[in-house]
Structure 1
Amino acid sequence: MTSLELVQQYYQYFNEKNWNGMLSLLHPEVRHESNQGDVRIGIENFTKFLQKMDECYDENLTDMVFFTEPSDQRIAAEFTVNGIYKKADEDLPPAHNQTYILPAASFLGITDGKISRVTTYYNLPLWIELVSKS
């Protein structure tokens, strides 16, 4: 499986809510850098993040575009997040099933045929504005 195919499978599992499938594609020492907050290292910490996300959000990614580079060690993905905010997440606005559509991007690193880094960016102030209007 090429690095591009690996990342495409990762996002297919995301859209299927197949968390175990996603986790199976990660390097044991995966580095997860979310838009806001602390860096998480390791599958155990990534698993806790996925559980929190599943509890608070219902998201599906569309309009996916992937970019590769010649060494096949880094992949970038641009996409649209189509979501429902189900449960309040820490210091964020109250949740009552607000919907949102938000552009986002991720940068992924590949080591030994596994995803070793996931860095995701989106416009948090825009997301707050979208869920606060609903």
Structure 2
Amino acid sequence: MSAQLIQSYFDAFNQKNTDAMLDCLSEDVAHHVNEGNIRVGKPKFAEFCAHMTRCYDEELTDMVIFLNDDGTRAAAEYVVNGTYLATDDGLPPAHGQSYRIPAGSFFDIDDGKITRVTTRYNLSDWTAQIQLLLNR
């Protein structure tokens, strides 16, 4: 069940279906964002998703999901294939640059819901790709 929960979460991400992503989460989900603050609760998660949808168009590929023996923790490794749509605060200007970066997410699971999402990627790698395309 837990592997299917994580797969459903990522399927919803790739379908750009925030409501379906929210269905996978507990009400008090803790969302640990790369280079950002921890957001607690579905409303904060939904706000984050709206911001990301405005600034980025992303699809996750090459997904591998890992699960511990009791199904309470999971991890996923994948590749983010994206387009930078609108300038995000503190980042280089957006001009439709494409990028491809490896990333990972880590999850706590309780009672059939994701209670923690932690996402990590190399921001320096992303920035270098965006800057390279910006300078062309």
* TM-score of the superposed pair, with normalisation by structure 2: 0.97
- The equivalent of 1:22 in structure 2 is 21
Identity among equivalent pairs (%): 47
Q: In structure 2, what is the Cα distance between the partners aligned to 1:71 and 1:34?
A: 25
Q: Displacement, 1:71?
A: 1.2
1:91-102 matched pairs, under 5 angstroms: 91-102=90-101
- The equivalent of 1:57 in structure 2 is 56
Q: Displacement, 1:113?
A: 0.8
CA RMSD of aligned residues (A): 0.5
Q: Displacement, 1:11?
A: 0.1
Deviations 1:20-47 (A, max 9, x none): 1001111000000011111000001000
Q: Displacement, 1:111?
A: 1.3
The secondary structure found in structure 1 opposite 2:95 is coil
The secondary structure found in structure 1 opposite 2:70 is coil
- The equivalent of 2:105 in structure 1 is 106
Q: In structure 2, what is the Cα distance between the partners aligned to 1:13 and 1:119?
A: 17
Unaligned runs of 5+ in 2: none
Q: In structure 2, what is the Cα distance between the partners aligned to 1:27 and 1:6?
A: 12
- The equivalent of 1:133 in structure 2 is 132
4+ residue segments displaced more than 6 Å: none
- The equivalent of 1:4 in structure 2 is 3
Q: In structure 1, what is the Cα distance between the partners aligned to 2:110 and 2:42?
A: 14
The secondary structure found in structure 2 opposite 1:70 is coil
Aligned AA (1:71)? D
- The equivalent of 2:34 in structure 1 is 35
Q: In structure 2, what is the Cα distance between the partners aligned to 1:18 and 1:28?
A: 18
